[in-house]
């Protein structure tokens, strides 16, 4: 055979020379076609098919074994463990390697976390997995997620949501991974059959983190002959499982009842504190009302004094006008002084009118504030009445729950006694069944021996056939009696099964009572929130009352300062309000109820009881507030001057 070079020439033609490439100007280029891509694709296809077949086998064996047992599966059940191992291998197939500071790692918990964003119903599952303190690796968290999804019977639904959003899964998986291909949808369809199984799994952090995921093929190669032997003990195991489940339910119920009792005690303590605070608040409101009445009286006194002062100023102005008219001709110099005095008096009059308007506005504000306080007190009383009613209802509910728990405990004790009696009966039945089986074996052996003897006797003697027939009839009667006893034992088993169904109904009732307890917990939480809101409202109202009292004291002190600053003192130092904190005479501390008052003679600050007297001073034509010591001194001077 002749081989040509096949390389293109300058004119576009192929080289006509033969395969002597050493003499050819157009030597061939070597193209190496790597068959690796096809081999890798074929290898991944085989892996996908093998994993899918293993998943089918594991699900089939798991469902068959669970239905044959007829009870809830534990975490130690071998077919269930193998199912989780195969599921882990399926989720790990085609995972991309993620680089981090520590190194490269693969974890299938990353795509499972997407379910929380796509399906908000799985948020509780994801949070419970994250809150497990013993889990330290992402592989352990992924295994715990699978365990919880199987217990919730929603593994197929969650994986279907992931497969519907393959654009998000492309970040974690290669394009030829099992989940990204059609086999993933087939596996999701197979997982729907697991909703038949009831699983009660234990999440151990150390075991989940350190578990080695190896598929055990020997589990699927065993004979199924021993399955029928396990059916006999299935009823007893189911009874024992239900007994343990009921005991756990009772323990949970007792714990919840104890928690409810502690919460009720806390609520009673808080209610007593609230009642004490309300009593203190009512006392404060009464004190504020008394202070308001005192302020009203003082405002009335100030108004009367201001009216008297205005009348006096009017009379003085009239007198001065008359004197001005009489002395106008020769008193041009005095005219300017009198005019200035008139202007000053007018200015004082205007200031007094402004002060009166301010006092009237303050009085209106005080009345509005008192009305608001009265409304708040009425609302607080209504809320207290409502809270008391709610407390009584909670107490009644707690009593009902206590009685129900006692009844449940008595019923549980009765059930325990019944279960023990059932166990004794089952043991007796098993012993009687064994005895009957022994009798049957003995009868069969005797029958075989009789048949052999019959054959021998037929050969030897024909006359003894009738006696043998009688023996056979006796054996038949014994067999019939044994069959009757077996029927009676079957009936007893049926009665036991009916009693088990009744116990299942009672467990369902206990579950409903647990749901009612959860509802009561929610109501208690609502009551606690309402209580916190009421405490906040009380604190805000107390702050408002304190601010109102401070505002009133400041306004009153400002009014007195304005009055006393306008009147100049002669020969005495006028103390400021900030300089005095105690009364000079009785040395009692000033407060909202005990006000500060200046003595117009000496300028010191006294309380109301120590400065209740009034006298006319040289600088004040009208009687003014004076302390007790100045009052006695001035009276002595007046008496000495009069004498």
Write down the pLDDT at residue 550.
Answer: 76
Write down the pLDDT at residue 389.
Answer: 80
Hey, what are 259's tokens? 């928690």
Mean pLDDT of 146-150: 88
Task: Average the pLDDT over each of 4-8, 452-456, 558-562, 578-582 and give the range with the smallest value.
Answer: 4-8
Write down the pLDDT at residue 35.
Answer: 43
Write down the pLDDT at residue 519.
Answer: 81
Instruction: List, in order, residues 6 or more apart from 535 with CB less than 8 Å away.
Output: 274
Query: pTM for this structure?
Result: 0.34
- The rounded distance, in Å, linking the Cα atoms of 262 and 254 is 12
Hey, what are 267's tokens? 């609520």
Write down the pLDDT at residue 2.
Answer: 38
Would you tell me how many other CB atoms lie within 10 Å of the CB of residue 580? 15
Q: How confident is the model at residue 225 (pLDDT cuts 50, 70, 90)?
A: very low
Q: How confident is the model at residue 606 (pLDDT cuts 50, 70, 90)?
A: very high
**pLDDT over threshold 60, residue 31:** no
pLDDT (tens digit per residue) in 56-74: 888 888 888 888 877 678 7
Query: What's 46-231's CATH class?
Result: mainly alpha
Residue 580 Cα to chain centre, angstroms = 55
Hey, what are 196's tokens? 């038949």
Mean model confidence pLDDT for the chain: 76
Write down the pLDDT at residue 448.
Answer: 83
Query: Residue 96 belongs to what H/E stretch?
Result: none
What are the φ and ψ backbone dihedral angles of 623, each rounded to 5 degrees? -65, 135
**pLDDT over threshold 60, residue 233:** no
Instruction: List, in order, residues 6 or more apart from 203 with CB less than 8 Å away.
Output: 132, 144, 147, 148
**pLDDT over threshold 70, residue 538:** yes
SS3 292: helix
For residues 581 and 590, the answer to whether their CB atoms sit within 8 Å is: yes
Instruction: List, in order, residues 6 or more apart from 8 with CB less than 8 Å away.
Output: 14, 15, 26
Tell me the sheet residues that pair with 104: 99
For residues 560 and 590, the answer to whether their CB atoms sit within 8 Å is: no
Write down the pLDDT at residue 565.
Answer: 43
Write down the pLDDT at residue 403.
Answer: 79
Query: What's 567-642's CATH class?
Result: alpha beta
Instruction: List, in order, residues 6 or more apart from 55 with CB less than 8 Å away.
Output: 86, 87, 90, 187, 190
- The rounded distance, in Å, linking the Cα atoms of 624 and 569 is 12
Mean pLDDT of 86-92: 89
- pLDDT above 70 covers a percentage of the chain that reads 79
What are the φ and ψ backbone dihedral angles of 615, each rounded to 5 degrees? -145, 155
- pLDDT above 90 covers a percentage of the chain that reads 1
Residues counted in the chain? 643
What are the φ and ψ backbone dihedral angles of 223, each rounded to 5 degrees? -75, 155
Taking the domains of the chain in order of start, what are their residue ranges?
46-231, 245-434+505-564, 567-642
Residue 38 Cα to chain centre, angstroms = 55
Cα dihedral value 290, 291, 296, 300, nearest 10 = 110
pLDDT (tens digit per residue) in 173-199: 888 888 888 888 888 888 888 888 888
Task: Average the pLDDT over each of 220-224, 368-372, 485-489 and give the range with the smallest value.
Answer: 220-224
């Amino acid at each position: 055979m002749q081989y040509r070079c096949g390389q293109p020439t300058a004119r576009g033609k192929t080289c006509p020379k033969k395969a002597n490439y050493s003499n050819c100007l157009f030597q061939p280029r070597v193209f190496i076609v790597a068959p690796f891509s096809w081999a890798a694709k074929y290898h991944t296809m085989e892996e996908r098919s093998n994993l899918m077949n293993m998943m089918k086998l594991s699900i089939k064996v798991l469902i068959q074994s669970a239905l044959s047992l007829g009870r809830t599966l534990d975490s130690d059940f071998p077919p269930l463990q193998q199912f989780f191992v195969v599921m882990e291998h399926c989720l790990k197939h085609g995972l991309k390697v993620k680089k981090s500071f520590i190194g490269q790692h693969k974890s299938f918990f990353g795509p499972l976390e997407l379910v929380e964003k796509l399906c908000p119903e799985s948020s509780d599952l994801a949070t419970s997995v994250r809150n497990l303190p013993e889990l330290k690796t992402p592989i352990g968290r992924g295994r715990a997620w699978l365990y919880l999804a199987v217990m919730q019977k929603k593994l197929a639904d969650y994986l279907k949501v992931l497969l519907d959003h393959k654009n998000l899964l492309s970040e974690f998986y290669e394009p030829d991974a099992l989940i990204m291909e059609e086999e993933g949808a087939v596996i999701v369809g197979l997982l729907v059959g697991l909703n038949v199984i009831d699983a009660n799994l234990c999440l151990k952090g150390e075991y989940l983190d350190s578990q080695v995921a190896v598929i055990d093929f020997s589990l699927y190669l065993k004979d199924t002959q021993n399955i029928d032997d396990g059916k006999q003990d299935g009823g007893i195991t189911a009874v024992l499982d239900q007994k343990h489940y009921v005991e756990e339910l009772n323990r949970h119920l007792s714990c919840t009842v104890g928690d409810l009792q502690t919460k009720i005690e806390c609520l009673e303590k808080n209610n007593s504190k609230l009642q004490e605070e309300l009593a203190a608040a009512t006392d404060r409101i009464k004190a504020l009302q008394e202070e308001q009445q005192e302020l009203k009286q003082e405002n009335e006194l100030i108004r009367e004094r201001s009216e008297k002062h205005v009348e006096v100023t009017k009379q003085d102005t009239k007198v001065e006008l008359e004197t001005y008219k009489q002395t106008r001709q020769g008193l041009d110099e005095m005219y300017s002084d009198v005019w200035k005095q008139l202007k000053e008096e007018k200015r004082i009059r205007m200031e007094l009118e402004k002060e009166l308007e301010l006092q009237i506005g303050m009085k209106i504000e005080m009345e509005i504030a008192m009305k608001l306080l009265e409304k708040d007190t009425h609302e607080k009383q209504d809320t207290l009445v409502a809270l008391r009613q709610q407390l009584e209802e909670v107490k009644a509910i707690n009593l009902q729950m206590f009685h129900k728990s006692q009844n449940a405990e008595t019923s549980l004790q009765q059930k325990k006694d019944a279960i023990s009696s059932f166990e004794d009966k089952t043991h007796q039945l098993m012993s009687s069944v064994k005895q009957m089986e022994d009798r049957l074996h003995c009868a069969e052996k005797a029958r075989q021996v009789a048949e052999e003897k019959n054959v021998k006797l037929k050969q030897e003697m024909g006359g003894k056939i009738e006696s043998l027939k009688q023996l056979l009839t006796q054996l038949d009667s014994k067999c019939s009696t044994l069959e009757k006893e077996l029927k009676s034992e079957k009936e007893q088993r049926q009665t036991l099964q009916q009693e088990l169904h009744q116990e299942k109904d009672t467990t369902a009732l206990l579950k409903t009572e647990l749901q009612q307890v959860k509802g009561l917990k929610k109501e208690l939480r609502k009551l606690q929130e309402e209580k916190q809101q009421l405490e906040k409202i009380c604190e805000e109202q107390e702050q408002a009352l304190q601010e109102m009292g401070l505002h009133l004291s400041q306004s009153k002190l400002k009014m007195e300062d304005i009055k006393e600053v306008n009147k100049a003192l002669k020969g005495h130092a006028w103390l400021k309000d900030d300089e005095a904190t105690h009364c000079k005479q009785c040395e009692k501390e000033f407060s909202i109820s005990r006000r500060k008052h200046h003595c117009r003679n000496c300028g010191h600050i006294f309380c109301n009881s120590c400065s209740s007297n009034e006298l006319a001073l040289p600088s004040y034509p009208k009687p003014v507030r004076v302390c007790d010591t100045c009052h006695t001194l001035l009276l002595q001077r007046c008496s000495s001057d009069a004498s």
